[in-house]
Amino acid sequence: MDYQAIIDKVFEQIAPLRGVGKQADYIPALAEVNPDRCGIAMRTLNGSYYSTGDATVRFSLQSISKVFALAMAMHLEGDNLWTRMGKEPSGAAFNSLIQLELEHGIPRNPFINAGAIVLSDILVEHLPSPENRFIEFVRSLAKCPTINYNYGVALSEKKQAYLNTAIANLLKYHGNIRGDIDRVLQFYFLVCSIEMSCAELSQAFLPFADHQQRFDYDGVTLTSSHVKRMNAIMQTCGFYDEAGEFSFLVGLPGKSGVGGGIAALYPGRYAVAVWSPRLNPKGNSVVGMKALELLTTFTAESIF
Ligand code: GLN
């Protein structure tokens, strides 16, 4: 399969969509990013790499980082994790409060904000120095020691964090946050602020495409059935209330973030990352969704 030619063709065909949508602006620092950036990178398990556009420019991962937080929480908690959150698609916005209230402080899944705030609580509780431990794990996944938090973006999010603070308070009220709310949110915003390029993100997702291989990165170990489950959750919950649409159009497990990135993978074959900051009303990258739809159409490869 000539993946480079296919990616080049995808890049050409998404051109008309590049002005559609709008950057996230509820995190003021994200509104300052050039919205016309666009990159694609793909990495296969047999070591090939393909890319186009702004594939080496770093961007804010935002919710994509929740995949790494879930991996670490699964390592620390095993199946106990599922006493504190569900594994069902939410069918609601990523920052919905209503569902959390109706469901008594048990988030529907780990990828909505409420779920990821509980993941953050778990990491803060277990790890003596969660910020250091977490970034080391992410660096080892991406095989890149310079990956880091963007403290300015985390601070910018914190200053406007009315909704996430409300979510954290509701979780705390129901006993589903054990630590101090400010401490847990501080860690959560830092996790969201991690920056990578598409090139780095495709590397960081590759381990999740590899069920057969033992997952052991910087001491974080997962069984192949954990990796399988992570893929299942990405497939059913990775795009919030657009998870069905992404499955329908693309047919790969993946995860989006309001920085405009999407990472997806084809189990046993490759991981791919796309970045374009303009979002649709559900908070997913317009170009990112289309690019991956075209990729699985042109390659005729998907999990379905
Ligand atoms: N940091 C963002 C938030 O909590 C992440 C949301 C996202 O990427 N969907 O709102």
Q: Would you say 135 and 149 are in contact if contact means Cβ atoms under 8 Å apart? A: yes
Spacing, Cα 17 to ligand 1 middle (Å):
23
Q: Would you say 304 and 62 are in contact if contact means Cβ atoms under 8 Å apart? A: no
- Is the CB–ligand 1 distance for residue 115 below 6 Å? no
Res 212 pLDDT > 80 = no
Which of 25, 26, 27 for mutating ligand 1's site (highest number of atoms within 8 Å of CB)?
Answer: 27
Q: Would you say 39 and 58 are in contact if contact means Cβ atoms under 8 Å apart? A: no
- Is the CB–ligand 1 distance for residue 188 below 6 Å? no
- The residue among 65, 49, 95, 52 whose CA lies nearest residue 275 is 52
Res 211 pLDDT > 80 = no
Q: Could you read off the pLDDT of 91-137 as tens digits, one per residue?
A: 999 999 999 999 999 999 999 999 999 999 999 999 999 999 999 99
- Is the CB–ligand 1 distance for residue 164 below 6 Å? yes
Q: Could you read off the pLDDT of 30-65 as tens digits, one per residue?
A: 999 999 999 999 999 999 999 999 999 999 999 999
Residue of the CA atom closest to atom 6 of ligand 1:
63
Q: Which atom of ligand 1 is nearest to the CA of 63?
A: 8
Q: Could you read off the pLDDT of 213-272 as tens digits, one per residue?
A: 789 999 999 999 999 999 999 999 999 899 999 999 999 999 999 999 999 999 999 999
- Is the CB–ligand 1 distance for residue 299 below 6 Å? no
- Is the CB–ligand 1 distance for residue 94 below 6 Å? yes
Spacing, Cα 202 to ligand 1 middle (Å):
20
Task: Dig out the tokens for 7 from the structure.
Answer: 């990616």
- Is the CB–ligand 1 distance for residue 241 below 6 Å? no
Report the alpha-carbon distance of residue 304 to residue 271 in Å, rounded: 16
Q: Which atom of ligand 1 is nearest to the CA of 193?
A: 1
pLDDT at position 214: 85
DSSP state for residue 279 in the 8-state scheme: B
- φ, ψ at 275 (rounded to 5°): -135, 130
**What is the CB neighbour count within 10 angstroms for residue 173?**
12
Residue of the CA atom closest to atom 3 of ligand 1:
113
Averaged confidence pLDDT in the chain: 97
Report the alpha-carbon distance of residue 139 to residue 218 in Å, rounded: 9
- The residue among 300, 256, 248 whose CA lies nearest residue 282 is 256
Task: Dig out the tokens for 20 from the structure.
Answer: 């559609």
pLDDT at position 213: 79
- Is the CB–ligand 1 distance for residue 157 below 6 Å? yes
Helix, strand or coil, per DSSP, at residue 217: strand
The DSSP element (H or E) to which 75 belongs, if any, is: helix 66-77
- Is the CB–ligand 1 distance for residue 95 below 6 Å? yes
Report the alpha-carbon distance of residue 246 to residue 268 in Å, rounded: 20
Q: Would you say 193 and 157 are in contact if contact means Cβ atoms under 8 Å apart? A: yes
Report the alpha-carbon distance of residue 230 to residue 217 in Å, rounded: 16
